[in-house]
Structure 1
Amino acid sequence: MIKAHSLLYSIYICLLVSIVCGALLFFSNLYNQLNLYYNLQEELYFHNQSLVNFALESRDTLPILDPEEKTGIKGSYETKPYGILNLLLVQSKTNKDTIQSAHLIGLHTKNKTALFLTNFSKSVSYTGLVKLIGDNALPSSHIETAHITNKTNDLYIEGKNSVSENQLPKINPNFKKIFYNTQTDKTNLSDVDKPKDSLYFNSFFNATKEVYLNSIVANMIFKGNFILRSKDSLHIKKNTVLEDVILIAPKITFESGFKGSVQAFASERIELEQNVILNYPSVVCIYNETVDESRIKIKKECKITGAIVLFGNTNEMIDKNCMEIDENTLLFGDIYCTGKLFLKGKVHGSVFTNRVFYKTESASYNNTISDIEINAKKRPTYFISIPIFDSKNVSHGIIKKVL
């Protein structure tokens, strides 16, 4: 005879077993769902990466592809300009999920030029320690010695030397377009979504926001798809964070100690105070086609990875358009100057200029260089330069992933 309490125990045990079995089935189903989810995420990721590689080869915008038979993933991409750079936007999606990626892309450089100095003035001379590593195109194959200071003169050249032409290679026409064609959503800062912790962010999959600012930019963080513009000047304080944004104003100044990555475009003046660091890919550019003066001034201890460009003036206006780069500065990239260039730092890349000059406290000497190093070989073959020239039949590569 079964006692009542034994039957009750059996019911409890059966209930407990059913709960445990139900829990096991639930967790097994949950594990399977998570496994399917992560497998899909992995497939979306690999699909997106494959589409990026395909886009770098084809370069043209691709409409939405038919979904793959096994995974049902649809893919699409487009390219569009962002400043002087190109932006690659890639999407891989299913009915339930989407993976997006955005990349700044450019061209692999094959340029081995160290110094290109146009041939419509006297031959170049040097004083102090000068290193030119790479191919050089100069007004004359002979570099004269100038006895200006009491320093020992030492010239080190490695590469081919040739006589230059009487004009610089033509600059990429997209530089000029930046100053005229900007298809953006123009707005005031007060109309931009209220930031959290002073952070303004705009995805590269959104329309570019063009924000008008007052002269002084301080205690703000701008990241992503922004053009910051002023009708007069922009003074960027060191406590400002700028990442992958574009600056446009007649005058732009970066306070000593600033760090960021920007494309800065001006018509009159750009100045980098001491110890400014502009990370890759950054551009410092002036376009001046007027009779007024323009100037790029880069002070001591600055580091720039990208390009420094001054263009637009005629040959008659060379002396009114000046680029000055002080000692202990480092540029990893290229210089293009249709005016005159005073260079005291190091360039790991190429220099193209109409004229160089050297100045002391009491005098200035045209087509003279002193205590500089221009080394095209320190720019590795995998480095993707800012597209100063409109190159064709050159492979594309990713400069930076921005999303």
Structure 2
Amino acid sequence: MLKASALYMVIVIALVIAIFSSSLIATAYYYRLEYQKNIRLGKLETNLHSGISMVLSASYPANQNGLEQRVDLFGEQNDSLLLRKEKWGIFEVGTVRSFVLADTLKKAFFVAEECTKDQTALYLSDEDRPLSVSGSTQITGDAELPKAGIKEAYVDGKPYAGKKLVDGKITDSSRELPKLNQSVLDDLEKYFADSLAEQEEIRDTLINSFFSEARIIRIPKSQPLISNRFIKGKIVLLCDTVLTIGENTELRDVMVFAPAIVVKEGFKGSCQLYARDSVVAAAKTVFEYPSAIGVLRKSDNGQPRIELGSECRFSGVLFSWERKRSELQTIISLGKDALVKGEVFATGFVKMAKPLTIDGRVACNRFIIQTPSTLYENYLIDITINRKRRSKYYLSSFLFDRKSPKQILQWLN
């Protein structure tokens, strides 16, 4: 006869076998779920990259109304994308969502143009006068200059100290600056004419995703000041009077439109500032890449200007524009020891305080340099303009209409 303990042992062994078998079945089940999840994730990532390539293609235009477009990649109803590309100041912003049922991957990014083929460091309109260089001036890169050419000059008893007047190819410029992209300018003009945006008091922190609709906020005329604020994302700030941006304010990716804008010392951020009359940035302000400051002239009154104070650091695009050349042309003024990495374009004058460094490209009708004793026109004194020192990863704005391939300027999420 079997002992009673034998039955107990059989039950224990059966229980162990059952637990082990159940574990194997559960492991196989969850392994299959994870495997299927990884397959879906890989498929979503592949579709996401396909969507990004579509948005970057020249055949995919920016949508003026900002609506998302649904795309079925293979017509099988299981590879769906939501695409959107719209203008954001002098750049474009793209969003891509790849989804299968409840699984979604998404990316938002700024879009800009390649500019590696353009090796121009300096463009000076031909006004029948030469460009004179003195002191420690260095021009590295190609230069388009008046037919009168470039020459050395003595200023304050100091000769030109360099070995080459231009370290690059010299060609003749025309009497006019290259045309800017009018459609980009027209889109900026629409914000100045916006009369529907409602006034709103901005909280300490304001963030709006680029997957959402743009928030357009009008700053009250009674208090045209942004101070001690953090503002980021798809936000447009409008003001009907002179707007002051305080030193304790940080702006990220937002656009600002006002008749005039004053940026206080200590400001640091990356944004786009546009004005009718002037944008004045105090000393030691820092504008990180990709920033933009533009003045768009509307009337013949005054002399619209952009002014960067001494020791400013600016990375991006500085430009002034007027439809027709006036007697008092627009002016971009760069302070002593300022550093600009990017592009400076003035449909008028560029005024410089020596010493000054521009890593990139500058284009204007005339240069102005003020010394304690004299005002010099079309002189460069202790000025460094170096196209080769600008980063090879720098991307330019559609404002300059190069018709170059589009690339991702910055990820936004």
Shorter-chain TM range is: 0.7 to 0.9
Which residue of structure 1 lines up, in the alignment, with residue 409 of structure 2? 399
- CA change 1:10–1:217 in 2 (3 A) is farther
Cα deviation code 1:1-49 (max 9, x no counterpart): 5666764565456445534543443344223213322331222112211
Q: 1:136 aligns with which of 139, 143, 165?
A: 143
Moved more, 25-34 or 351-360: 25-34
Name the CA distance, whole Å, in 1 between partners of 2:290 and 2:120: 20
Any gaps of 5 or more consecutive residues in structure 1?
none
- CA change 1:22–1:129 in 2 (3 A) is same
Asked if 1:82 is matched to 2:88, the reply is yes
Code of the residue aligned with 1:221 in structure 2: it is F
Q: What secondary structure, in the 3-state scheme, does the structure 2 residue paired with 1:106 have?
A: strand
Q: What secondary structure, in the 3-state scheme, does the structure 1 residue paired with 2:179 have?
A: coil
Please report how far the alpha carbon of residue 262 of structure 1 lies from its aligned counterpart in structure 2 after TM superposition: 0.6
Which residue of structure 1 lines up, in the alignment, with residue 55 of structure 2? 55
Equivalent residues of 1:219, 1:240 under 8 A apart? yes
Cα deviation code 1:294-324 (max 9, x no counterpart): 22111222222211001116433345x3211
Any gaps of 5 or more consecutive residues in structure 2?
62-67
Q: What secondary structure, in the 3-state scheme, does the structure 2 residue paired with 1:34 have?
A: helix
Equivalent residues of 1:184, 1:210 under 8 A apart? no
Cα RMSD (Å): 2.8
Cα deviation code 1:192-243 (max 9, x no counterpart): 8xx7xx4322222221111123422122222211112221133222332221
- Residue correspondences, number: 396
- CA change 1:146–1:52 in 2 (3 A) is same
Equivalent residues of 1:289, 1:314 under 8 A apart? no
Q: 1:300 aligns with which of 293, 297, 310?
A: 310
- CA change 1:318–1:120 in 2 (3 A) is farther
Which residue of structure 1 lines up, in the alignment, with residue 40 of structure 2? 40
Equivalent residues of 2:71, 2:83 under 8 A apart? no
Which residue of structure 1 lines up, in the alignment, with residue 64 of structure 2? none
Asked if 1:347 is matched to 2:354, the reply is no
Q: What secondary structure, in the 3-state scheme, does the structure 2 residue paired with 1:257 have?
A: coil
| Superposed counterparts of 1:22-41, under 5 Å | 22-41=22-41
Equivalent residues of 1:141, 1:161 under 8 A apart? no
Cα deviation code 1:139-165 (max 9, x no counterpart): 244323443324442243112223321
Q: 1:357 aligns with which of 359, 368, 372?
A: 368
Moved more, 53-62 or 30-39: 53-62
Cα deviation code 1:238-275 (max 9, x no counterpart): 33222111111122222223221111111111122222
Name the CA distance, whole Å, in 2 between partners of 1:93 and 1:136: 50
Which residue of structure 1 lines up, in the alignment, with residue 65 of structure 2? none
Asked if 1:211 is matched to 2:217, the reply is yes
Q: What secondary structure, in the 3-state scheme, does the structure 1 residue paired with 2:398 have?
A: coil
Equivalent residues of 1:124, 1:140 under 8 A apart? no
Q: What secondary structure, in the 3-state scheme, does the structure 2 residue paired with 1:52 have?
A: helix
Equivalent residues of 1:313, 1:339 under 8 A apart? no
Cα deviation code 1:25-76 (max 9, x no counterpart): 3344223213322331222112211331243234315953335489922234
Equivalent residues of 1:134, 1:377 under 8 A apart? yes
| Superposed counterparts of 1:81-120, under 5 Å | 81-109=87-115, 110-120=117-127
Equivalent residues of 1:108, 1:396 under 8 A apart? yes
Asked if 1:229 is matched to 2:235, the reply is no
Please report how far the alpha carbon of residue 98 of structure 1 lies from its aligned counterpart in structure 2 after TM superposition: 1.9
Could you tell me the percent identity over the aligned residues? 25
Name the CA distance, whole Å, in 1 between partners of 2:30 and 2:195: 46
Which residue of structure 1 lines up, in the alignment, with residue 78 of structure 2? 72
Q: What secondary structure, in the 3-state scheme, does the structure 2 residue paired with 1:47 have?
A: helix
- CA change 1:200–1:118 in 2 (3 A) is same
Moved more, 211-220 or 257-266: 211-220
Q: What secondary structure, in the 3-state scheme, does the structure 2 residue paired with 1:377 have?
A: coil
Name the CA distance, whole Å, in 1 between partners of 2:195 and 2:105: 25
Equivalent residues of 2:238, 2:258 under 8 A apart? yes
Equivalent residues of 1:246, 1:263 under 8 A apart? yes
Code of the residue aligned with 2:26 in structure 1: it is F
Which residue of structure 2 lines up, in the alignment, with residue 239 of structure 1? 248
TM-score w.r.t. the length of structure 1 is 0.88
Name the CA distance, whole Å, in 1 between partners of 2:207 and 2:25: 44
Please report how far the alpha carbon of residue 325 of structure 1 lies from its aligned counterpart in structure 2 after TM superposition: 0.7
- CA change 1:338–1:292 in 2 (3 A) is same
Equivalent residues of 1:238, 1:258 under 8 A apart? yes
Name the CA distance, whole Å, in 2 between partners of 1:185 and 1:27: 60
Code of the residue aligned with 1:186 in structure 2: it is A
Q: What secondary structure, in the 3-state scheme, does the structure 2 residue paired with 1:98 have?
A: strand
Name the CA distance, whole Å, in 2 between partners of 1:398 and 1:364: 43
Which residue of structure 1 lines up, in the alignment, with residue 207 of structure 2? 201
Which residue of structure 2 lines up, in the alignment, with residue 279 of structure 1? 288
- CA change 1:116–1:43 in 2 (3 A) is same
Asked if 1:254 is matched to 2:260, the reply is no
Asked if 1:147 is matched to 2:154, the reply is yes
Equivalent residues of 1:108, 1:381 under 8 A apart? no
Equivalent residues of 2:58, 2:405 under 8 A apart? no
- CA change 1:313–1:65 in 2 (3 A) is closer
- CA change 1:49–1:185 in 2 (3 A) is farther
Name the CA distance, whole Å, in 2 between partners of 1:270 and 1:68: 50
